[in-house]
Amino acid sequence: MRFGGHVSIAGGLERAIERAQEITADCIQIFVAAPQRWLPANHSEEAVARFLEARDASGVTPVLLHGPYLINLGSTDELLRQRSIDAMVSQLEWADRLGAMGVVFHVGSTASGGRDAGMDLAADGLRQILDRARGQAPLLLETTAGGGNSIGGHFEDLGELIDRLDRTPRLQVCLDTCHIFAAGYPCRTITDLDQTLADFDRVIGMDRLTALHLNDSRDPFGSHRDRHANIGEGAIGLDGFRSIVNHRQLCRLPGFLEVPGFDGNGPDAENLRRLRALVE
């Protein structure tokens, strides 16, 4: 497994590559725009060129973009949904520009109009995004902990959206270990993972799984709470991650940390060291 994590682009896009090297990340996830605002990303041609040069020189690959947290494709608030669509079109265009493997994001919630209406709106939103962003980059739908009627707490949610978009190859899935654990999918032993991934395959298709978020969970199994812990400090624990990083269907994927960090500065060398030490 290639091990990396979410890193900041503060100071310029290419600083993300320097930060990756500081923490020994093989691969990185970045926000290209402020995650809590609607402002689109704004980086010069020169900044993009410096980023690509630094990436190629470092061997840090793949790069994954994470969409803004404000996105909600399932909302009945039409302004919010349209802003979400516009923002994701821009994100996909940036993914192509930066040679990223895609854009991972949380689809949204069906809380405002109920599940059927919310899933209709989300499917329509995905269709609009992919129609307008004419490049190659895929969207990675993220599994969620399932709180607040979020889309992605059941594998069925994501499978249904992919089916409704005629199984376009531009829809893939990012599995977050903290989220599936909190959502109630067992994942701490090889046998548990075999069963959970068989569910995933039946409902979504294992060919769709292209990235992992490797986060321990502060909350217990099935809690539906989304609070990340450092590797080995949560309820999944080191034994759980030993199963995850060595599972034959997962070890080919890039794994990105989104953990608080031992110094509170996000993914760090110690979390990466712990994961690598588990590889058999």
Among positions 87-146, residues that touch Zn ion (CB under 5 A) are none
| 66 scored as a contact of Zn ion (CB under 5 A) | no
First to last CA, the chain: 11
Q: List the x/- string, 143-182, binding to Zn ion by CB under 5 A.
A: ---------------------------------x------
Stretch that binds Zn ion, among 154-162, 196-204, 225-233, 260-268 (CB under 5 A): 225-233
Q: How far apart are CA 82 and CA 232, in angstroms?
A: 40
Stretch that binds Zn ion, among 69-77, 95-103, 219-227, 243-251 (CB under 5 A): 219-227
Q: Applying CB under 5 A, which of residues 14, 226, 233, 268 lies at the interface with Zn ion?
A: 226
**Count of residues interacting with Zn ion (CB under 5 A):** 3
Q: Applying CB under 5 A, which of residues 154, 213, 218, 247 lies at the interface with Zn ion?
A: 213
Q: How far apart are CA 232 and CA 6, in angstroms?
A: 18
Those residues whose C-beta lies under 8 Å from the C-beta of residue 97, and which sit 6 or more positions away, are 48
Q: How far apart are CA 105 and CA 88, in angstroms?
A: 9
- Give the residue from 169, 166, 161 showing the smallest Cα distance to 144: 161
Q: Can you tell me whether residue 187 is helix, strand or coil? A: coil
**Nearest-approach distance from CB 114 to Zn ion, in angstroms:** 24
- Taking the least distance from each CB to Zn ion, the nearer of 14 and 176 is 176
Q: Which residues bind Zn ion (CB under 5 A)?
A: 176, 213, 226
